[in-house]
Amino acid sequence: MVRLGGIAICLGVVAALLLVIKLGGGTVLADPNGRSVVAVMMGGLGFFAIGLADDWVNLAPLPRLLGQLMVSALVWQAGVRIEQITVPGLEIIDLGWLSLPLTLLWLTGVVNAINWIDGLDGLAAGVGAIAAAASALICLQTGQIASALVMVCLLGSLLGFLVFNFNPAQIFMGDGGSYFIGFLMAGVGITGLVKTATATAIFLPLLVLAVPLLDMLVVILGRLLRGQSPFLADRSHLHHRLLGIGLPHRLTVVTIYALAWWMGSLALVFVGLPSSPLLLSTALLGLAWIAWKSLQVILNSPVNSAS
């Protein structure tokens, strides 16, 4: 199975973005966040290179992490930073020297969360597409046009890739693809979501990326409690647990899609999109249907039938 599908995802985003910039006569770069978006794209290419090298030669965890931190630090130096946060009920908090470590933690954390959720056919691509769609809508609603454009380009590239990546997959994205997707999501989380004027801005990227972030957090805590390395591969991810209770491959993937769509809809509610109630109700109905189908699978499993 070819594991270099990330090349197609990366080229699709870059080609679409360059085309729009060319047709727009550079107006995208004139946007207040234009330069930050360029830095995000350059950082995405850097992470893509690290992931592609890992796909080819299987890098050890430490050199891979050092490379991620180095690229993230360069992007921070270029101006993509978490400098302030707005907490509801409190004034704007200036992070000061904490800006660098928190930015590095966010960028590398999201990248690895997307990479870790890439365990089933179509899972990372679908979750990434849902998160990109939610981010694009939020950025458009709050006037972050340049950031929205990056997310729209990523959405289109992922939908095209998903045609060949959904179960049964014909191609995998590899670490190059998941690193590229994760970094664009994390970078736009800073340039287009955290810097919005809403009091709940701090929660927006957390909601949009809640499924992969929570999955990573639960897995890491579980490994640490068992006295294992947090980087040790196991079968404790959400998709492994759903498969373990008897859900078929496709239903497992669609279930996680629905969770991602639900959390993205909550983020849309916070920014006051007119269509957000419809999106939220659709997500809730989807969750109810999946819960019912999952219960049927569990009840009809051989273990329950025998009992």
Residues in the chain predicted with pLDDT less than 50, given as ranges, are: 197, 302-307
47, 41 contact by CB (below 8 A): no
Express each pLDDT in 41-68 by its tens digit: 999 999 999 999 999 888 888 899 999 9
pLDDT score at 306 = 43
- Give residue 236's identity as a one-letter amino acid code: S
pLDDT of residue 130: 93
* Long-range contacts at 27-34 (CB < 8 A, ≥ 24 apart): 28/145, 28/146, 28/149, 29/146, 31/145, 31/146, 32/146, 33/144, 33/145, 33/146, 33/147, 33/191, 33/192, 33/195, 34/146
| Structure token digits, residue 288 | 């109810």
pLDDT at 187: 92
- pTM, to two decimals: 0.86
At 307 the pLDDT is: 38
- The residue assigned the tokens 């107006």 is 27
Q: What's the DSSP call for residue 85?
A: E
Question: Which letter does DSSP use for residue 169 in this model?
Answer: P
Sign of the torsion angle spanned by Cα atoms 257, 260, 266, 267: negative
